[in-house]
Amino acid sequence: MLSWRAITASFPPPDDSWSGLAMHLDRCEQVRHQFLEQRTTSSERLLWPLHRIHYEQNRLIYEKRFRERTLSRATYAYLVRYRIADGDLIAKWRRRGYRALCSLWAISRCTAARSHAICRVPLRKRRLSEGARAATPALRRLFHPSSVTGCVTCTDDDCVDPRSKQVLGPIWFDDVQPDWEAMTPAQRTATARKLARKSALWSTSGDNAPIPGVSSRGAGSGGDSVASRHAQYR
């Protein structure tokens, strides 16, 4: 995979409206490369940080283009053309119901049981079938991250402020998790929005802000550190 700087050096962008993204793209690329070089296994769970890095990289591009309007249409098309931006994921974010979608994998990878990942089910709607015991491990697994992406929830119900319509961001595997199963459905939704709001702070914190849950928590330090964070979900 070519560095974004190598691409822009060979094929200059149409204007300089992309310059505000440079530091953010550098940090995402650095963390991604460090992680890929140091990981020790291809386990699906140990790839969770890559989904978050990909989300963080594209979210700021989305904010600059469609909310702040500081990224020109021509430059956005250029970033999509050369795969610096994920045009398909960003297009989903513009649709109701997908505004906080963590990854296209969450809605495109079919499993034996369902056609979408567990993170696409609002927390308040997650419940066991009638007759199952509330204290069973099966109940706890309802609130584990998606085995595909490492996202706990990325639904509009949990991750979009109903008043301001602000997208608060997904809740990821390395965010602090409360005791979801002990809460009522309404409490889960309220708590999820508080956690999601903290995850979204990076998008308005400026170019020097650390990528939450990634560079600030050492996702680039190799597979062992990532494994230790999701060991609780086994």
- Tracing tokens 């567990």 back to the chain, one arrives at 118
Provide the β-strand partners of residue 172: 151
pLDDT confidence of residue 136 = 59
| Residue spans per domain, the chain | 1-94, 97-201
- Tell me which residue of 66, 64, 45 sits closest to 172, measured CA to CA: 45
- The residue whose two tokens read 């680039």 is 220
Report the Cα–Cα distance between both ends of the chain, in Å, rounded: 32
What pLDDT, in 10s, does the model give residues 34-47? 888 776 655 556 78
Do 75 and 13 touch, CB atoms closer than 8 A?
yes
* pLDDT for residue 101 is more than 80: yes
226 pLDDT exceeds 70?
A: no
pLDDT in tens, 106-159: 987 554 455 688 899 999 998 765 555 555 566 667 888 988 889 999 999 999
- Note the Cα 161 to chain centre separation in Å: 17
What pLDDT, on the 0 to 100 scale, is given for residue 227? 46
Q: State pLDDT tens for residues 21-37.
A: 888 888 888 888 888 87
Q: What sign for the dihedral angle of Cα 165, 124, 106, 84?
A: positive
Predicted TM-score of the model (pTM): 0.80
